[in-house]
Structure 1
Amino acid sequence: MGKVIITVQMSADASIGPDIGWFEGGEHEYAGEQEIRLADAFLLGRRTYEALAPIWLATSGTFAEKVNGIPKYVASRSASGEPLRWNATALKGDLAGEVRRLKGEHEGDLLTYGCGEFAFELVRSGLADEIRFWVHPIVWSESRRPFHGLGPVRMSLKDSTVFRNGVVRQTYEPVSVE
Protein backbone atom coordinates (compact mmCIF):
# COMPACT_ATOMS: atom_id res chain seq x y z
CA MET A 1 0.00 0.00 0.00
CA GLY A 2 1.28 3.45 -0.91
CA LYS A 3 2.01 6.19 1.60
CA VAL A 4 0.90 9.81 1.19
CA ILE A 5 3.89 12.04 1.87
CA ILE A 6 3.52 15.81 2.01
CA THR A 7 6.81 17.55 1.26
CA VAL A 8 7.42 21.27 1.42
CA GLN A 9 10.41 23.57 0.96
CA MET A 10 10.39 26.55 3.31
CA SER A 11 12.60 29.26 4.76
CA ALA A 12 13.63 29.29 8.43
CA ASP A 13 10.69 31.63 9.15
CA ALA A 14 8.32 29.15 7.43
CA SER A 15 7.79 31.15 4.21
CA ILE A 16 6.30 28.83 1.59
CA GLY A 17 4.71 31.33 -0.78
CA PRO A 18 4.95 31.33 -4.54
CA ASP A 19 7.95 33.70 -4.51
CA ILE A 20 10.63 31.16 -3.61
CA GLY A 21 13.53 33.37 -4.65
CA TRP A 22 15.15 32.31 -1.39
CA PHE A 23 15.60 28.73 -2.60
CA GLU A 24 19.21 27.75 -3.25
CA GLY A 25 20.34 24.37 -4.48
CA GLY A 26 22.83 22.23 -2.68
CA GLU A 27 23.64 18.77 -1.45
CA HIS A 28 20.12 18.30 -0.07
CA GLU A 29 18.87 18.19 -3.66
CA TYR A 30 20.11 14.61 -4.01
CA ALA A 31 17.85 13.60 -1.11
CA GLY A 32 14.99 15.48 -2.79
CA GLU A 33 15.63 13.61 -6.02
CA GLN A 34 15.61 10.33 -4.11
CA GLU A 35 12.24 11.31 -2.68
CA ILE A 36 10.94 11.65 -6.23
CA ARG A 37 12.59 8.43 -7.42
CA LEU A 38 10.73 6.55 -4.67
CA ALA A 39 7.40 8.03 -5.71
CA ASP A 40 4.83 6.04 -7.65
CA ALA A 41 2.73 9.13 -8.28
CA PHE A 42 2.24 12.79 -7.46
CA LEU A 43 -0.88 13.86 -5.63
CA LEU A 44 -1.32 17.59 -6.24
CA GLY A 45 -3.70 20.42 -5.56
CA ARG A 46 -4.74 22.49 -8.57
CA ARG A 47 -2.55 25.51 -7.77
CA THR A 48 0.56 23.38 -7.26
CA TYR A 49 -0.15 21.46 -10.47
CA GLU A 50 -0.56 24.73 -12.40
CA ALA A 51 2.74 26.04 -10.98
CA LEU A 52 4.80 22.90 -11.61
CA ALA A 53 3.46 21.61 -14.93
CA PRO A 54 4.86 24.37 -17.19
CA ILE A 55 8.27 24.19 -15.51
CA TRP A 56 8.66 20.43 -15.89
CA LEU A 57 7.11 20.27 -19.36
CA ALA A 58 9.82 22.70 -20.52
CA THR A 59 12.63 20.75 -18.79
CA SER A 60 14.58 17.97 -20.46
CA GLY A 61 17.08 15.36 -19.37
CA THR A 62 16.98 11.98 -17.67
CA PHE A 63 15.61 13.22 -14.35
CA ALA A 64 12.98 15.40 -16.07
CA GLU A 65 11.89 12.32 -18.04
CA LYS A 66 11.42 10.49 -14.71
CA VAL A 67 9.40 13.37 -13.22
CA ASN A 68 7.31 13.87 -16.35
CA GLY A 69 6.59 10.14 -16.62
CA ILE A 70 5.24 9.76 -13.09
CA PRO A 71 1.41 9.78 -12.98
CA LYS A 72 -0.09 12.89 -11.40
CA TYR A 73 -3.48 13.07 -9.73
CA VAL A 74 -4.91 16.57 -9.40
CA ALA A 75 -7.56 17.66 -6.90
CA SER A 76 -9.55 20.79 -7.71
CA ARG A 77 -12.71 22.43 -6.46
CA SER A 78 -12.69 24.84 -9.38
CA ALA A 79 -11.70 22.73 -12.36
CA SER A 80 -11.57 24.84 -15.51
CA GLY A 81 -12.74 22.00 -17.72
CA GLU A 82 -9.49 22.10 -19.68
CA PRO A 83 -7.83 18.75 -20.28
CA LEU A 84 -4.86 18.17 -18.01
CA ARG A 85 -1.38 17.74 -19.42
CA TRP A 86 1.83 16.49 -17.78
CA ASN A 87 0.59 12.90 -17.43
CA ALA A 88 -2.18 14.11 -15.09
CA THR A 89 -5.67 12.90 -14.22
CA ALA A 90 -8.28 14.92 -12.35
CA LEU A 91 -9.60 13.43 -9.12
CA LYS A 92 -13.39 13.43 -9.23
CA GLY A 93 -15.98 12.93 -6.54
CA ASP A 94 -15.11 12.15 -2.94
CA LEU A 95 -11.50 13.23 -2.35
CA ALA A 96 -10.92 10.96 0.65
CA GLY A 97 -12.34 7.94 -1.19
CA GLU A 98 -10.24 8.65 -4.27
CA VAL A 99 -7.03 9.01 -2.24
CA ARG A 100 -7.75 5.80 -0.33
CA ARG A 101 -8.25 4.04 -3.67
CA LEU A 102 -4.93 5.43 -4.98
CA LYS A 103 -3.10 4.36 -1.80
CA GLY A 104 -4.41 0.84 -2.44
CA GLU A 105 -3.39 0.87 -6.11
CA HIS A 106 0.16 2.17 -5.62
CA GLU A 107 2.98 0.40 -3.81
CA GLY A 108 5.28 3.41 -3.68
CA ASP A 109 4.84 6.88 -2.28
CA LEU A 110 2.16 9.33 -3.35
CA LEU A 111 4.14 12.56 -3.14
CA THR A 112 2.33 15.84 -2.42
CA TYR A 113 4.09 19.19 -2.81
CA GLY A 114 3.08 22.27 -0.87
CA CYS A 115 1.35 22.71 2.43
CA GLY A 116 -1.88 24.58 1.83
CA GLU A 117 -5.55 23.68 1.65
CA PHE A 118 -5.11 20.41 -0.21
CA ALA A 119 -2.39 19.15 2.16
CA PHE A 120 -4.46 20.20 5.16
CA GLU A 121 -7.45 18.26 3.81
CA LEU A 122 -5.24 15.16 3.46
CA VAL A 123 -4.13 15.52 7.09
CA ARG A 124 -7.65 16.31 8.35
CA SER A 125 -8.97 13.19 6.59
CA GLY A 126 -6.28 11.00 8.14
CA LEU A 127 -4.74 10.25 4.75
CA ALA A 128 -1.28 11.83 5.16
CA ASP A 129 1.31 9.38 6.45
CA GLU A 130 4.23 11.83 6.70
CA ILE A 131 4.94 15.55 6.44
CA ARG A 132 8.49 16.51 5.44
CA PHE A 133 9.59 20.09 6.01
CA TRP A 134 12.79 21.07 4.21
CA VAL A 135 13.89 24.12 6.22
CA HIS A 136 16.39 26.42 4.46
CA PRO A 137 18.75 28.70 6.41
CA ILE A 138 17.26 32.05 5.37
CA VAL A 139 14.53 34.37 6.65
CA TRP A 140 12.29 35.47 3.76
CA SER A 141 9.25 37.05 5.45
CA GLU A 142 6.47 36.02 3.07
CA SER A 143 3.00 35.77 4.54
CA ARG A 144 2.25 32.21 3.31
CA ARG A 145 2.94 29.58 5.97
CA PRO A 146 2.30 25.80 6.20
CA PHE A 147 -1.42 25.17 6.77
CA HIS A 148 -1.82 28.97 7.16
CA GLY A 149 -5.13 29.80 8.79
CA LEU A 150 -6.40 26.24 8.57
CA GLY A 151 -5.96 25.14 12.14
CA PRO A 152 -3.38 23.49 14.37
CA VAL A 153 -1.91 20.17 13.28
CA ARG A 154 -0.22 18.09 15.99
CA MET A 155 2.70 15.97 14.80
CA SER A 156 5.21 13.47 16.12
CA LEU A 157 8.83 13.78 14.96
CA LYS A 158 10.00 10.65 13.09
CA ASP A 159 13.36 11.81 11.77
CA SER A 160 15.58 14.84 11.27
CA THR A 161 18.46 15.20 8.83
CA VAL A 162 20.88 18.12 8.78
CA PHE A 163 22.70 18.74 5.49
CA ARG A 164 26.11 20.45 5.28
CA ASN A 165 24.60 23.51 3.59
CA GLY A 166 22.35 24.15 6.60
CA VAL A 167 19.12 22.71 5.17
CA VAL A 168 17.28 20.57 7.72
CA ARG A 169 14.71 17.94 6.68
CA GLN A 170 12.25 17.25 9.47
CA THR A 171 9.94 14.27 8.98
CA TYR A 172 6.77 14.17 11.04
CA GLU A 173 3.80 11.86 11.40
CA PRO A 174 0.52 13.78 11.73
CA VAL A 175 -1.18 12.95 15.03
CA SER A 176 -4.30 15.13 15.11
CA VAL A 177 -6.00 18.22 13.74
CA GLU A 178 -7.56 20.56 16.29
Structure 2
Amino acid sequence: MGHVIVTGFVSLDGIVTDPDGSDGTPAGGWAFRHGPETHGGDKFRLGELMDTGVLLLGRNTWELFSRLWPNRTDEFSTRMNKMAKAVVSHSMTDVSAFPNSTVIEGSLTGYVRSEPRTMAVAGSVSVIRALQAEDLVDEYRLMTLPTIVGAGERMFGPTDTPVHLRLASVAQTGAASLATYVR
Protein backbone atom coordinates (compact mmCIF):
# COMPACT_ATOMS: atom_id res chain seq x y z
CA MET A 1 0.00 0.00 0.00
CA GLY A 2 1.23 3.48 -0.85
CA HIS A 3 1.36 6.43 1.51
CA VAL A 4 -2.04 8.20 1.98
CA ILE A 5 -2.02 11.98 2.41
CA VAL A 6 -5.22 13.89 3.22
CA THR A 7 -5.18 17.55 2.18
CA GLY A 8 -7.76 20.14 2.99
CA PHE A 9 -8.76 23.64 3.90
CA VAL A 10 -9.89 23.85 7.53
CA SER A 11 -11.43 26.81 9.32
CA LEU A 12 -10.17 27.79 12.75
CA ASP A 13 -13.17 25.97 14.26
CA GLY A 14 -12.46 22.77 12.27
CA ILE A 15 -15.02 23.15 9.46
CA VAL A 16 -14.21 21.85 5.97
CA THR A 17 -17.58 22.50 4.29
CA ASP A 18 -17.63 24.66 1.15
CA PRO A 19 -14.28 26.45 1.40
CA ASP A 20 -14.54 27.79 -2.17
CA GLY A 21 -18.25 28.67 -2.14
CA SER A 22 -19.17 26.26 -4.96
CA ASP A 23 -21.79 24.51 -2.80
CA GLY A 24 -23.64 27.78 -2.19
CA THR A 25 -23.79 27.44 1.60
CA PRO A 26 -24.38 30.68 3.58
CA ALA A 27 -20.77 30.73 4.84
CA GLY A 28 -19.26 29.29 1.64
CA GLY A 29 -16.11 30.74 0.14
CA TRP A 30 -14.46 31.31 3.51
CA ALA A 31 -11.05 29.96 2.37
CA PHE A 32 -10.85 32.18 -0.69
CA ARG A 33 -11.51 35.43 1.17
CA HIS A 34 -7.87 35.55 2.26
CA GLY A 35 -6.23 36.22 -1.11
CA PRO A 36 -4.51 34.14 -3.81
CA GLU A 37 -1.27 33.65 -1.85
CA THR A 38 -3.28 31.51 0.55
CA HIS A 39 -4.80 29.14 -2.00
CA GLY A 40 -2.92 29.47 -5.32
CA GLY A 41 -0.47 27.00 -6.83
CA ASP A 42 0.97 24.04 -4.93
CA LYS A 43 -0.39 25.18 -1.59
CA PHE A 44 -0.31 21.67 -0.11
CA ARG A 45 3.28 21.09 -1.24
CA LEU A 46 2.57 18.01 -3.28
CA GLY A 47 5.65 18.61 -5.46
CA GLU A 48 6.83 15.49 -7.25
CA LEU A 49 3.80 13.55 -6.00
CA MET A 50 1.95 15.30 -8.81
CA ASP A 51 4.21 13.46 -11.28
CA THR A 52 4.36 10.07 -9.56
CA GLY A 53 1.30 9.73 -7.33
CA VAL A 54 -2.48 9.53 -7.56
CA LEU A 55 -5.08 12.14 -6.69
CA LEU A 56 -7.96 10.38 -4.92
CA LEU A 57 -11.30 12.16 -5.32
CA GLY A 58 -14.94 11.58 -4.49
CA ARG A 59 -17.52 12.22 -7.20
CA ASN A 60 -18.50 15.73 -6.07
CA THR A 61 -14.92 16.97 -5.79
CA TRP A 62 -14.04 15.35 -9.13
CA GLU A 63 -16.99 17.13 -10.78
CA LEU A 64 -15.87 20.47 -9.33
CA PHE A 65 -12.23 19.93 -10.34
CA SER A 66 -13.23 18.77 -13.84
CA ARG A 67 -14.87 22.16 -14.40
CA LEU A 68 -11.89 24.13 -13.05
CA TRP A 69 -8.58 22.56 -14.02
CA PRO A 70 -8.77 21.30 -17.65
CA ASN A 71 -9.13 24.82 -19.08
CA ARG A 72 -6.15 26.27 -17.21
CA THR A 73 -2.65 26.30 -18.68
CA ASP A 74 -0.35 27.63 -15.93
CA GLU A 75 2.41 25.33 -14.68
CA PHE A 76 0.52 24.02 -11.65
CA SER A 77 -2.66 23.37 -13.65
CA THR A 78 -0.70 21.55 -16.35
CA ARG A 79 0.75 19.23 -13.69
CA MET A 80 -2.69 18.78 -12.10
CA ASN A 81 -4.16 17.81 -15.47
CA LYS A 82 -1.36 15.29 -16.11
CA MET A 83 -1.62 13.72 -12.65
CA ALA A 84 -3.29 10.31 -12.33
CA LYS A 85 -6.73 10.60 -10.71
CA ALA A 86 -8.82 7.85 -9.11
CA VAL A 87 -12.50 8.66 -8.64
CA VAL A 88 -14.69 7.06 -5.98
CA SER A 89 -18.17 6.74 -7.44
CA HIS A 90 -20.86 4.10 -7.83
CA SER A 91 -22.69 6.04 -10.53
CA MET A 92 -20.09 7.66 -12.80
CA THR A 93 -18.88 5.99 -15.95
CA ASP A 94 -17.54 8.87 -18.05
CA VAL A 95 -14.57 10.67 -16.50
CA SER A 96 -13.13 12.00 -19.76
CA ALA A 97 -13.73 15.66 -18.78
CA PHE A 98 -10.67 15.63 -16.49
CA PRO A 99 -7.57 14.08 -18.10
CA ASN A 100 -6.02 10.94 -16.62
CA SER A 101 -9.07 10.07 -14.49
CA THR A 102 -10.35 6.56 -13.85
CA VAL A 103 -13.24 5.30 -11.75
CA ILE A 104 -12.18 2.93 -8.96
CA GLU A 105 -13.37 -0.61 -9.57
CA GLY A 106 -14.51 -2.35 -6.38
CA SER A 107 -14.16 -0.88 -2.91
CA LEU A 108 -12.28 2.28 -1.93
CA THR A 109 -10.36 0.49 0.81
CA GLY A 110 -9.48 -2.37 -1.52
CA TYR A 111 -8.12 0.11 -4.05
CA VAL A 112 -6.11 2.00 -1.43
CA ARG A 113 -4.66 -1.19 0.04
CA SER A 114 -3.56 -2.39 -3.42
CA GLU A 115 -2.26 0.91 -4.87
CA PRO A 116 1.55 1.12 -4.51
CA ARG A 117 1.83 4.84 -5.37
CA THR A 118 1.41 7.70 -2.92
CA MET A 119 -2.18 8.94 -2.87
CA ALA A 120 -3.35 12.47 -2.06
CA VAL A 121 -6.98 12.97 -1.10
CA ALA A 122 -8.40 16.41 -1.90
CA GLY A 123 -11.75 17.52 -0.46
CA SER A 124 -14.10 14.55 -0.46
CA VAL A 125 -15.12 14.31 3.18
CA SER A 126 -16.87 10.97 2.59
CA VAL A 127 -13.65 9.51 1.15
CA ILE A 128 -11.62 10.89 4.06
CA ARG A 129 -14.06 9.48 6.62
CA ALA A 130 -14.00 6.03 4.98
CA LEU A 131 -10.19 6.01 5.05
CA GLN A 132 -10.14 7.24 8.66
CA ALA A 133 -12.56 4.48 9.69
CA GLU A 134 -10.15 1.86 8.32
CA ASP A 135 -7.07 3.61 9.78
CA LEU A 136 -5.57 4.14 6.31
CA VAL A 137 -4.46 7.79 6.56
CA ASP A 138 -0.72 8.27 7.04
CA GLU A 139 -0.49 12.05 6.86
CA TYR A 140 -2.62 15.19 7.01
CA ARG A 141 -1.68 18.46 5.30
CA LEU A 142 -4.15 20.96 6.65
CA MET A 143 -4.38 24.58 5.54
CA THR A 144 -5.95 26.34 8.52
CA LEU A 145 -7.50 29.72 7.80
CA PRO A 146 -8.30 32.40 10.37
CA THR A 147 -12.05 32.17 9.90
CA ILE A 148 -14.67 30.82 12.27
CA VAL A 149 -17.41 29.35 10.10
CA GLY A 150 -19.68 28.13 12.91
CA ALA A 151 -21.43 25.22 11.21
CA GLY A 152 -20.70 22.48 8.73
CA GLU A 153 -18.81 19.23 8.44
CA ARG A 154 -15.56 18.77 10.31
CA MET A 155 -12.41 17.04 9.09
CA PHE A 156 -12.61 14.58 11.96
CA GLY A 157 -15.81 12.89 13.01
CA PRO A 158 -16.55 11.12 16.28
CA THR A 159 -14.31 8.18 17.10
CA ASP A 160 -14.01 5.62 19.86
CA THR A 161 -10.26 5.26 19.36
CA PRO A 162 -7.88 8.21 19.68
CA VAL A 163 -5.40 8.75 16.86
CA HIS A 164 -2.05 10.18 17.88
CA LEU A 165 -0.16 12.18 15.29
CA ARG A 166 3.11 14.10 15.27
CA LEU A 167 3.51 17.63 13.92
CA ALA A 168 6.09 17.31 11.13
CA SER A 169 6.05 20.90 9.88
CA VAL A 170 4.16 24.15 9.91
CA ALA A 171 4.53 27.10 7.54
CA GLN A 172 2.71 30.35 7.00
CA THR A 173 1.05 30.60 3.59
CA GLY A 174 -0.50 34.01 3.20
CA ALA A 175 -3.10 34.38 5.94
CA ALA A 176 -3.15 30.62 6.59
CA SER A 177 -0.89 28.06 8.17
CA LEU A 178 -0.06 24.76 6.48
CA ALA A 179 0.51 22.11 9.14
CA THR A 180 1.65 18.60 8.29
CA TYR A 181 0.82 15.85 10.76
CA VAL A 182 2.17 12.31 10.39
CA ARG A 183 1.76 9.00 12.18
Structures share fold, TM-score greater than 0.5: yes
Aligned in 2, Cα 1:168/1:9: closer, same or farther, shift over 3 Å? same
- TM value normalised by structure 2: 0.77
Q: 2:82 aligns with which of 69, 94, 97?
A: 69
- Which residue does the alignment assign to 1:17? 17
Aligned residue for 1:35, secondary structure, equals: coil
Query: Residue 131 in 1 paired to residue 140 in 2?
Result: yes
Q: Give the residue type in structure 2 aligned to 1:161.
A: V
Whole-angstrom distance in 1 between the partners of 2:39 and 2:95:
35
1:43-54 paired onto structure 2 within 5 Å: 43-54=56-67
Query: Partner residue of 2:25?
Result: none
* Mapped contact 2:109–2:131 kept (Cα < 8 A): yes
The range that moved more, 38-47 or 24-33, is 24-33
CA pair 29-71 structure 1, distance change in 2 beyond 3 A: same
Aligned CA RMSD, in angstroms, stands at 2.5
Query: How much identity, in percent, do the aligned residues show?
Result: 25
Equivalent residue, structure 1, for 2:24: none
SS at match of 2:45: helix
Asked whether the 8 Å contact 1:155–1:172 carries over to 2, the reply is: no
Provide structure 1 residue ranges, at least 5 long, that are not aligned to the other structure: none
Q: Could you say if the C-alpha distance between residues 110 and 80 of structure 1 is closer, same or farther in structure 2, counting changes exceeding 3 Å? A: closer
Distance in 2 between the 1:165 and 1:62 partners? 20
1:151 pairs with 2:158? yes
Contact kept, 8 Å, 1:36 with 1:67, in 2: the verdict is: no
Whether contact under 8 Å (1:36, 1:111) holds in the other structure is: no
Alignment-mate amino acid for residue 43 of structure 2: G
Is the aligned partner of 1:34 residue 2:41?
no
Provide structure 2 residue ranges, at least 5 long, that are not aligned to the other structure.
22-27
Q: Does 1:81 align with 2:81?
A: no
How far apart, in 2, do the equivalents of 1:110 and 1:50 lie? 19
User: What letter corresponds to residue 110 of structure 2 in structure 1?
Assistant: G
| Runs of 4 or more consecutive aligned structure 1 residues displaced over 4 Å after TM superposition | 27-31
Aligned counterpart, 1:101: 114
Instruction: Give the strand-richer structure, 1 or 2.
Output: 1
User: Could you tell which deviates more after superposition, 55-64 or 164-173?
Assistant: 164-173
Aligned to 2:130: 121
Shift of 1:84: 4.2
- What is the TM-score when the length of structure 1 is the normalising length? 0.79
- Residue 30 of structure 1: CA displacement? 5.9
Deviation (angstroms), 1:127: 2.0
CA separation in 1, counterparts of 2:143 and 2:66?
A: 21
Q: CA deviation at 1:163?
A: 0.8
Contact 2:42-2:76 within 8 A present in 1 as well: no
Counterpart AA for 1:21: G
